[in-house]
Structure 1
Amino acid sequence: MSAHELDHVAFAVPSWRSAGDSVHRTLGARWVSGFHQGSFSPCQLELAEGMRLELLAPPAQGVGFIAEHLERSNDGANPHHITFKVADIHASMTLARAAGVRTILENLDNQWWKELFLHPKDTGLGFLVQLVQTELTLDGQDEITAPGAVDCPWHEQPQAENPPQRLDFIAGRIRSAAQARLVLGTVLGGQSMSLEDDPRTLVFSWPLGSSLVLQTDEHAEPGLQALSFTDPSLPAPIMDGGYLKALRGSGRRFEALGLDILTGHPAHVG
């Protein structure tokens, strides 16, 4: 792997079944794996080209940090964090701290899964950033014997009838372009550029995974707003301000994930 990869976007959802079935039928996402754990239950769905969406549901008794997160958002699904895989999490932690970004919720003792989060007050992004170092492929094979593993709780359509869509970029708003460049560029190795016809919009990209497209607005609440998809059989879109404006004008609220879905080409959105 490269030093940094944008691996997946995680969402807090009231339940796997309704959210996952909707994401599968709408975007062709395929079940990879899922687990019931003490304070939350994570499952992962795969889109085209290996990009993932993760659904985080509270336990049946409705306690824990995902239940609290949902309560703050009136029990509606919404983005929780974005995960980057890193080659050396200790080096990434040192780099983050040197840049003035605190690290929290560190779990570095597990041989197979080392993780930490960047403090949201220091990133200024409006969403949590998770860093993970792992040898697991998360392809449904590594974790199959792990405690709490379960099967897909909904019926999946044949892939030929409902192919996974490609997640081209994740869109959001930020207040400070300089802080975004520090966190996503310096700490997380993203290549950044400003759009020629929309200099307030920054695009961050990595060797693997989708791009982040962030519009600078000093007065708006920062955070994730939309996911943009295209049919994987078609070329990836050319990014410019006009294209983004057209997409934003056609976006529709996707309640299963609590943000907008943008489609540059015909897809399974309905």
Structure 2
Amino acid sequence: MSAHELDHVAFAVPSWQSAGASVHRTLGARWVTGFHQGSFSPCQLELAEGMRLELLQPPAGGGGFIAEHLARSAGAANPHHITFKVADIHAAKDLARAAGVRTILENLDNQWWKELFLHPKDTGLGFLVQLVQTELALDGNDEITAPGAVPCPWDEQPAAQNPSQRLDFIAGSIRDAARARLVLGTVLGAQITDLEDDPKTQLFSWPLGSGLVLRVNESIPPGLHALSFTDPSTPTPILDAGLLQALRGSGSRFEALGLDILTGQRAHAA
């Protein structure tokens, strides 16, 4: 197994200030680190149990790939990619190629951060998949002295008042179940669970990080549509068709990220 952790979900947003403050108030996510760079500006927020959300903001002067991504949704925030940490990115690349999945945007020469993306036309998932090999802890200590690093741009509430929520799974739609199993199972080493009472839905999970719940739906474009959260002080819910149905009924649109938020127990009001 080459992929050992689903590390974070990244979103294209018009502004850190607005989106990040809303994510913090609603889900208790805590600022980790952020940078202003030439073509885009990334920042990361941490949820319970180490899971991350990444916000990608266009540069102040406009232009760049994040601005182009936002233009396709009339400027509204929306999911951009999911990042997996892998133990050996060259082995992961070989697995992808053997499965007929092209790799793009490769940067394999950086000692501290090797990355590549899987071609979205080959995965059929409806979202970009990034593979990263790194020794960085991503706890803010490694990056804080890097050029462009900035402090948190909003006032964070005390953790006791606004605890971080646990991201149990990321939900999406696909059209080709066999292709998803090939990419996420064979290439990325996921454990695959078929729901006996919902044959169109599959759970893809890893030893660390959240899981992916993907449902075959040929009537809508493939892609991510929801994040499911629970209070980390409660047991992790057991996923079955009944829970999924109940969660869908609890969903509400979260414009800061451009998808639905599902809550098993609770989440703060935005």
Q: Which TM-score applies when normalising by structure 1?
A: 0.98
The question of 1:204 aligning with 2:192 is answered: no
Measure the CA separation in 2 of the matches of 1:189 and 1:197: 24
Report the equivalent of 2:166: 166
Report the equivalent of 1:113: 113
Report the equivalent of 2:27: 27
Cα offset, 1:249, TM superposition = 1.3
List 4+ stretches of structure 1 deviating above 6 A: none
Cα offset, 1:219, TM superposition = 3.0
Matches within 5 A, 1:246-261: 246-261=246-261
Measure the CA separation in 1 of the matches of 2:57 and 2:126: 21
The question of 1:128 aligning with 2:122 is answered: no
Report the equivalent of 1:98: 98
Q: Which amino acid in the other structure matches residue 62 of structure 1? A: G
Q: Secondary structure at the match of 1:265?
A: coil
Q: What is the RMSD computed on CA atoms of the aligned residues?
A: 1.1
The question of 1:9 aligning with 2:6 is answered: no
Q: Which amino acid in the other structure matches residue 169 of structure 1? A: F
Cα offset, 1:3, TM superposition = 4.2
Q: Which amino acid in the other structure matches residue 91 of structure 2? A: A
Q: Which amino acid in the other structure matches residue 59 of structure 1? A: P
Q: Secondary structure at the match of 2:22?
A: helix
Measure the CA separation in 2 of the matches of 1:227 and 1:3: 21
Measure the CA separation in 1 of the matches of 2:12 and 2:2: 28
Q: Which amino acid in the other structure matches residue 265 of structure 1? A: Q
Measure the CA separation in 1 of the matches of 2:231 and 2:219: 34
Cα offset, 1:196, TM superposition = 1.1
Tell me the percent identity: 82
Residues 150 and 73 from structure 1, CA distance in 2 versus in 1: closer, same or farther, beyond 3 angstroms?
A: same
Measure the CA separation in 2 of the matches of 1:269 and 1:180: 34
The question of 1:225 aligning with 2:245 is answered: no
Report the equivalent of 2:36: 36
The question of 1:150 aligning with 2:150 is answered: yes
Cα offset, 1:220, TM superposition = 2.1
Cα offset, 1:182, TM superposition = 0.2
Report the equivalent of 1:234: 234
Measure the CA separation in 2 of the matches of 1:215 and 1:134: 31
Report the equivalent of 2:263: 263
Measure the CA separation in 1 of the matches of 2:185 and 2:49: 23
Q: Which TM-score applies when normalising by structure 2?
A: 0.98
Report the equivalent of 1:59: 59
Measure the CA separation in 1 of the matches of 2:218 and 2:178: 12
Residues 188 and 2 from structure 1, CA distance in 2 versus in 1: closer, same or farther, beyond 3 angstroms?
A: closer
The question of 1:195 aligning with 2:195 is answered: yes
Contact kept in structure 2, 1:31 and 1:45, CA below 8 Å: yes
Where does structure 1 lack aligned partners over 5 or more consecutive residues? none
Cα offset, 1:56, TM superposition = 0.2
Report the equivalent of 2:50: 50
Cα offset, 1:4, TM superposition = 2.0
Q: How many residues align?
A: 270
Measure the CA separation in 1 of the matches of 2:50 and 2:200: 30
Q: Secondary structure at the match of 2:209?
A: coil
Measure the CA separation in 2 of the matches of 1:64 and 1:141: 28
Where does structure 2 lack aligned partners over 5 or more consecutive residues? none
Question: 1:116-161: CA deviations, max 9, x gaps?
Answer: 0000000000000000000111101000110100000000000011
Q: Secondary structure at the match of 1:95?
A: helix
Contact kept in structure 2, 1:2 and 1:207, CA below 8 Å: no
Measure the CA separation in 1 of the matches of 2:150 and 2:3: 32
Measure the CA separation in 2 of the matches of 1:5 and 1:35: 24
